[in-house]
Amino acid sequence: MEGNDYAYEAVSGHSCLNLGHAHPELIEAATEAFKTLSYCSPEHQSHASIELANTLSRLLGDAYKIKYAISGSSANEMALNIARRRWQALGYSNKTVSLSLDRSYHGNLGLAKQVTGFEPFKVDTHITSDDFVYISSARNAATGEMYSLSEIQAQIETTIEKIGQDRIACLFVEPVNFAGGVIVPPKGYLKLLRQLCDEHQITLIVDEVITGFGRTGSWFAFQQEAIRPDMVTMGKGITAGYFPLAAVAVEKHIYEDLTHLKVPLKMVITMAGHPTGCSIALKAIEIIERDKLRQQLVKQASTIHALFDPAKQSPIIKDIRGFGYMWGLEFCDYNGLAAPAIANKIAHNCERNGCIVAAADGIIRINPPLNMSADECNSMGKAIINAIHQVTIELTT
């Protein structure tokens, strides 16, 4: 395909456009919302912000209080503040440390940037602080091998012992490190983190900014491990990418502590919980429910995964992994070494074939909109496979 005429946005814009471009119902919801109430101060509540808070709590399994933000970064920063201030109010004033994973991404602003364990995002303003401690992800960064649950447990327990649980306020985790290379942890991982956080009085914050709103088949990925995080942060797909909106869901017992201890939570952001964003979010959730898109995704995910099978024969493929509608294709050179230039070339060829993917560090990331038809999934998969074939042939001739 020539020019800029793309058929498939295989990365949903920037992991947010979960229902594709120009969805008429989302446009109508936005138009009606602007006509009804063009703005509402974060000191007040609109009908839409109340209804969305109730809906989110229902999707999360009830008993979560919702605080609105405007971006995933600000939601994570808010969650960190809530965790620290609660421990302070409970008399644990040394509990200020945040644990987060190597190659995690939690945002590009302020404290969220510090929580992020992904070096490319830290270079500009790297502030060293004992309050930000990084633990290994579920994948060995040097060898690419996955750790077992018992190895992960031992690593975390060693870190906790070294720092002291009296210093640790919270642990941030993405159910799948998407930006960090689509690292899919072993089953039971979140359950293990929940257990360790309970044992050591650490607030568990699950960052569902990418994985939320159906992308893994459940509303939120943590639900597949039947745990209850202390806080859940969300953004991006909450409005299917049609409006800047994000939120922190605070579990009831945490919220009750904050209320009883009279912790002032004046985290006012002018545009947070904008009624238009909340109305669009309600419509997006309604569409996902009504059109059974989570169920459709579960069926189609394995079909798309199977489409990548022929690529496994290519000598430049190191690994293909995924979960729900999130895949990572990792490339290598003939010596088995990471090959960013090859991944970039394949991404370029994908674009020439009409399909936009994201390449970084030798890994191509794919996470398409939830409402792609079976035919569209098929064509998207073929565009990617063809790009891999083209580059494999180029490199071998």
Ligand X SMILES: Cc1ncc(COP(=O)(O)O)c(C=O)c1O
Q: Which is nearer to ligand X, 70 or 380 (CB)?
A: 70
Which DSSP string do the residues of 314-361 spell out, in sequence order? STTEEEEEESSS-EEEEEB-TTS-B-HHHHHHHHHHHHHTTEE-EEET
Interatomic CA distance for residues 333 and 395, integer angstroms: 10
Cβ partners under 8 Å of residue 110, min gap 6:
73, 77
Q: Which is nearer to ligand X, 68 or 105 (CB)?
A: 105
Interatomic CA distance for residues 144 and 131, integer angstroms: 28
Task: Say whether residue 180 binds ligand X (CB under 6 A).
Answer: no
Stretch of residues binding ligand X (CB under 6 A), selected from 104-112, 223-231, 339-347, 375-383: 104-112
* 237-241-244 Cα angle (round to 5): 100
Interatomic CA distance for residues 279 and 31, integer angstroms: 10
Task: Say whether residue 231 binds ligand X (CB under 6 A).
Answer: no
Judged by DSSP in three states, 177 sits in strand
Q: In 182-292, which residue ranges form alpha helices assigned H by DSSP?
A: 189-199, 252-260, 275-290
Asked if 222 contacts 199 with a C-beta cutoff of 8 angstroms, the reply is no
Q: Taking CB under 6 A as the rule, which mask of x and - marks residues 181-220 in contact with ligand X?
A: --------------------------x-xx----------
Least CB distance to ligand X at residue 210 (A): 4
Task: Say whether residue 229 binds ligand X (CB under 6 A).
Answer: no
Task: Say whether residue 106 binds ligand X (CB under 6 A).
Answer: yes
Counting residues that bind ligand X (by CB under 6 A) gives 14
Q: Which is nearer to ligand X, 215 or 318 (CB)?
A: 215
Q: Which is nearer to ligand X, 160 or 284 (CB)?
A: 284
Query: Site for ligand X (CB under 6 A): which residue of 68, 105, 213, 255?
Result: 105
In the block, residue with structure tokens 């939601």: 75
What are the strands, taking DSSP E only, across the chain? 8-9, 64-69, 97-101, 132-135, 168-173, 203-207, 231-234, 246-251, 317-322, 327-331, 355-356, 358-360, 363-366
Task: Say whether residue 174 binds ligand X (CB under 6 A).
Answer: yes
Stretch of residues binding ligand X (CB under 6 A), selected from 173-181, 301-309, 341-349, 365-373: 173-181
Burial of 224 (0-12, 13-18, 19+ CB in 10 A): middle
Least CB distance to ligand X at residue 377 (A): 23
Least CB distance to ligand X at residue 14 (A): 7
Least CB distance to ligand X at residue 179 (A): 5
Least CB distance to ligand X at residue 138 (A): 15
Q: What is the dihedral of CA 40, 46, 52, 54, to 10 degrees?
A: 140
Q: Which is nearer to ligand X, 82 or 311 (CB)?
A: 82
Q: Which is nearer to ligand X, 205 or 385 (CB)?
A: 205
**Residue 31: both structure tokens together:** 């138009």
Task: Say whether residue 107 binds ligand X (CB under 6 A).
Answer: yes
Least CB distance to ligand X at residue 76 (A): 6
Closest residue to ligand X, Cβ-based? 72
What are the beta bridge partners of residue 317?
Answer: 331
Least CB distance to ligand X at residue 389 (A): 30
Question: Within 52-81, which residues bind ligand X (CB under 6 A)?
Answer: 71-73, 76
Task: Say whether residue 281 binds ligand X (CB under 6 A).
Answer: no
| Residues that bind ligand X in the complex, under the rule CB under 6 A | 71-73, 76, 105-107, 174, 178-179, 207, 209-210, 235
